[in-house]
Structure 1
C-alpha cells in the first residue's frame, strides 16, 4: 500500500521556476500622519511596528514549510514620492519567483517597467505600472 503523502510530494527535479507572483509581500498606503496611524493600529489592532515604520507578518510556505514568508505593512506620509508616478493612495508589493524571467515576460507584453532590478541582502526589487497606472513593487526574496 502506498502512503498518500508520498504521492503528493514533488520530486526535486520538478521544482517550479515559472516567472510569476507567489504571494503578497507588502501593503503600503498613504496617511496624513504615519506615526499616529501606526500608533492607532498598534493600540487597537496589535500591529507592532519596527524602525522602518512597518510590521512583518510571517507565515510558512505550504509546499515548503521550512521557508518563512514575510508580509510588510507600512503607512507612508501622504504625497511620499515612493508611490510615484502613481497617483493612488496605496501600493502593493507582490512576492515573485524568477524576477528576471518575469521582467522579460512583462517587457514582451508591453508592461511599463519603471526601473531596473535592484539587489539587496534581503532580495531583488523592481517596480512596474499596471494598466490603470497603479505602481506595483515586485520582490524576489533571498531563500
Structure 2
C-alpha cells in the first residue's frame, strides 16, 4: 500500500496483457489487404483483432494496426511503432506512475470501448495504456 494525496492505495497489478501492436506503414490499406490475403487475418479498416480468454475466462482482445506513415498518434516519440498494454485500473495507475516520476503524455481519454492514457519509457518510446471494454468489439 502507498499513499497519493493522503489516500491509501492498494498496489494493483499494473499491466494485464498486450493490448496491441501499432506501427507506421507507407500504405496501411494495402498492407492490411496483404495480411488478409496471405496470412488469413480477419481485417477491417484498422487492422485485425485477435480474441482470447484471460485466466478467469473473460473475452479479451489484442489489436494489430498499421498506421499511416505520417501519423502524429505516436508523438512525441519518433519511433515507427507504439506498444499498447492492457491495464485494469488506468486512473489509479496513471496517478502511481506520475508519483513515481514517469512522464505522462496528455490527458486520459474515455470512449465506449475503454480508457486510454500514454506514458514515455526512458528511451522516449510512447506507450499506450488501455483499460478495455472488450465486449463492445464483438
TM-score range, shorter chain: 0.7 to 0.9
Aligned to 1:10: none
Select the residue among 42, 48, 58 that pairs with 1:55: 48
Give the number of the structure whose residues are more often helix, by fraction. 1
Displacement after TM superposition at 1:19 (Å): 4.5
Give the TM-score normalised by structure 2: 0.85
| Greater Rg by CA | 1
Q: CA RMSD in A?
A: 1.6
The alpha-carbon distance between structure 1 residues 28 and 81, as it changes in their structure 2 partners (threshold 3 A), is same
Aligned to 1:86: 77
Unaligned regions of 5+ residues in structure 1, if any?
Answer: 1-15
> Alignment length, in residue pairs?
125
Aligned to 2:104: 113
Instruction: Give, in whole Å, the separation in 2 of the partners of 1:129 and 1:17.
Output: 21
**2:43 match: secondary structure:** coil
User: Per-residue displacement from partner, 1:76-119 (whole Å, max 9, x unpaired)?
Assistant: 11121111111001001100011111111110111111111111
Give the number of the structure whose residues are more often strand, by fraction. 2
Give the TM-score normalised by structure 1: 0.82
